[in-house]
Amino acid sequence: MGLIRIVVPAWQGVISASMSTEAAAPHPLRISDRGAATRGALLSAAREVFVEAGFAQAAVTDIVARAGASVGSLYHHFNGKADLYLTLYEEFQSRQQERTREAVRRARDSGESDPMRLFTAGARAYLDGCLAERDVSRLFMSGDGPPGFDRVMRDRMRTWAGRNAALFHTEDGVDEALAVVLTGAMAGAVSEISQSDDEAASRRLADDCLGIVETIRNPRTSRP
């Protein structure tokens, strides 16, 4: 018996349901396709409205009107305005994670093994992503988010620091202090770059920040 699996990502997790093809003909599949299109339209509209008005001033009615949807359909896919915002943030971070992972992979494939250069490769990809998606990057760094969003960002920062720490294994263990310093420095660069109106100046700042980072040496591995 075949199964049609419907997966609807949400901020709280992934909600899934399975339906027998014997009990469900092609019609539910068409509904699923239409539902996915509606969800995508709502996210796209929410991104535009949040960027233009900010989170606090954004109205659900404006989002559904721009998406060509209904308020009911919004609450079918999301819990509300905050859920839309948080879903946009998670999707952006997923794209950023893929960018950094791919950059580090390419560096390793080319023969690079120095932890600092691997970190820099990933950091450059992250900053490039902020420049490529400056609208949402600026939105998330603006401080205008739903209640508790600052905690979400802190959790993300700890996760990022943990991934960075994995690059700096030594005989004595993991140099967590170095990872924290580097991650904090890059967080400051992300904030400045995201909120700047001058793209050329932002790219110069990104290059300068990465240049400074590359001069830092792990004290545990650079002893004479």
- pLDDT digits 0-9 by tens, 118-129: 888 999 999 999
Q: Is the dihedral of CA 132, 143, 150, 70 positive or negative?
A: negative
- The full length of the chain comes to 224
Q: Assess whether pLDDT exceeds 50 at residue 8.
A: no
pTM, two decimals, is 0.77
Q: Assess whether pLDDT exceeds 60 at residue 32.
A: yes
Average pLDDT for the chain: 80
pLDDT digits (tens, 9 = 90+) for 147-193: 999 999 888 877 877 777 777 766 655 567 787 788 888 888 888 98
Region 198-209: mean pLDDT is 89
- Asked if 89 and 152 touch (Cβ cutoff 8 Å), the reply is yes
**CATH for 82-215 (3.20.20.100, 1.10.357.10, 3.40.640.10, 1.10.3470.10):** 1.10.357.10
Q: Class assignment of domain 3-79? A: mainly alpha
Residue 17 main-chain phi, psi, to 5 deg:
-145, 150
Where are the domains positioned within the chain?
3-79, 82-215
Percent of the chain residues past pLDDT 90, beyond the cut: 46
* Ordered DSSP codes for 151-206: HHHHHHHHHHHHHHHTT-EETTEE-HHHHHHHHHHHHHHHHHHHH-S-HHHHHHHH
